[in-house]
Amino acid sequence: MNDSQRHSVWTAAGWLEIVFGVIGILYSCVVVLFLLGASLENMKTPSPIGASELLPALFFALLPAFYLSISVLAFCAGLGLLRRRSYGRICTLVFGALAIIFNAFDTFFLWQDFLVHVWQAYQKTELPNGPSLASRFVEALELTPIYLGCSIGLALLCRSVYTHRESFTRDRPPHHPIP
């Protein structure tokens, strides 16, 4: 791949990261507003919080902050990738690694959920709740290639960004050797 093709791929990836970052930021703001509304509604009826309810409440309180941080990271990675800055390179590598790990876990748990329901239906220990086995199988078959393709694309992008360090020097002053 020559430099102009590489730079156009980096530009497209940068715009995609910016768009997904903005969507994630908006989504996390909506989730925060929803959780605030739900907590204000629950404040009308006082009830003590038990120890068993504390961990899920903490998880749901921290979930939007985690999602917001990942979205801001994606936005910064896209902006830095468009501007060919070294922070964009670093953010792209971090975001790519996190996204690949997320895709791997998501694929694993998608198939695990399907296979657990197959096992429960086979053993007739309990009836599976939720969608039918056929729809779970179709979902796993549809999403696995998408996650795999996304992970491969991110890995190739990260490899390209990592190996072409010299393209991300716009924020550094020019180096003049001392005579």
Q: In the structure, what pLDDT confidence band is assigned to residue 126 with cuts at 50, 70 and 90?
A: low
Q: How many CB atoms lie within 10 A of CB 91?
A: 23
Q: pTM for this structure? A: 0.75
Domain parsing of the chain, residue ranges: 3-167
Model confidence pLDDT, tens digit, residues 143-165: 999 999 999 999 998 998 898 88
Task: Tally the C-alpha atoms within 13 A of residue 90's C-alpha that lie toward its C-beta.
Answer: 4
Model confidence pLDDT, tens digit, residues 59-84: 777 888 888 999 999 999 999 999 88
